[in-house]
């Protein structure tokens, strides 16, 4: 009986901690506006604001093309660089999302 209670308690705690860990998971979506600019929108799955989160756009060697911060709409617009690049959404420790240019498509 003790083992069953212990197992049940462990299962409950694991569900609690997994849901808590996923609650503040960051996301970043970028799309090509078709006019030479890229729009990136970021946030967190729990609905937390991403206003002020740092965004960097880097080339394959890590050279920074442009950097800035998400605005009050949690958006960042930049001029599309030529060649391959990566957008980095950096909200701090273990809250980083990278979006390679190969995954950025033009808005329909």
Write out pLDDT tens, residues 69-106. 999 999 999 999 999 999 999 988 788 999 999 999 98
Residue 14 clears pLDDT 90, i.e. is over it: no
**Among residues of the chain, what percentage have pLDDT more than 90?**
64
* Pick from 50, 6, 4: nearest CA to 24: 50
SS3 47: coil
| 34: region left, alpha or beta (phi > 0 left; psi from -120 to 50 alpha) | left
- Rounded mean pLDDT of the chain? 83
The residues facing 57 across adjacent strands are: 66, 87
pTM of the model: 0.75
């Amino acid at each position: 009986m003790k083992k069953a209670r212990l197992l049940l308690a462990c299962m409950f705690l694991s569900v609690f901690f997994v849901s808590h860990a996923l609650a503040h998971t960051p996301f970043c979506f970028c799309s090509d506006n078709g006019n030479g600019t890229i729009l990136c929108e970021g946030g967190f799955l729990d609905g937390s604001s991403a206003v002020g989160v740092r965004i960097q756009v880097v080339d394959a060697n890590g050279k920074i093309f442009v950097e800035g911060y998400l605005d009050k709409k949690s958006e960042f617009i930049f001029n599309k660089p030529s060649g391959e690049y990566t957008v980095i959404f950096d909200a701090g420790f273990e809250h980083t999302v990278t979006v390679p240019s190969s995954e950025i498509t033009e808005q329909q």
